Structures are given as structure tokens and as C-alpha cells.
Amino acid sequence: MNNEELVLKTLSESADPMKSAEIAEKAGIEKAEVDKAIKKLKKEEKVFSPKRCYYKEN
């Protein structure tokens, strides 16, 4: 499973929006990798940010 899939899986399991550090902790990957994945997923419109620095699956 690549980092984008891990981020999406982690977000889908959470009822609430999450910070990238929380995603990194739950997914077991580096925060920098989560940030890269989120940037790509936002461009693909698979995640969005309901409030600053929090992310949620579309």
C-alpha cells in the first residue's frame, strides 16, 4: 500500500478531520510523507480541508 492509500484509509476510518501529524502517527509513516501525500490527494480532490491544517476524505 502506498502513502496516498494509507492516508486515505486512515482518514476514512476517522469520523473527525485529522491533522497531518495525527495521520502520520496512526498510519505509521513520517509526517513529511503524509504532507506530500495530502498535497497530491488535494490536487486530485480526494481530500479537503474543512478548517486550517485539518483534513478529511471527500
In the chain, where the domains are located: 3-57
Residue 9 has φ and ψ, to the nearest 5°, of: -65, -45
CA angle 33, 4, 8 (to 5 degrees): 115
Q: How many CB atoms lie within 10 A of CB 54?
A: 14
Residue 16 has pLDDT above 90, yes or no: yes
Query: Please, which pLDDT band fits residue 45 given cuts at 50, 70 and 90?
Result: very high
Cβ density class 14-53: b for 16+ within 10 Å, e for less: eeebbebebbbebbebeeebbeebbeebeeeebbeeeeee
Tell me the pTM: 0.90
CATH fold of 3-57 reads Arc Repressor Mutant, subunit A (1.10.10)
Residue identified by cell 501525500 is 37
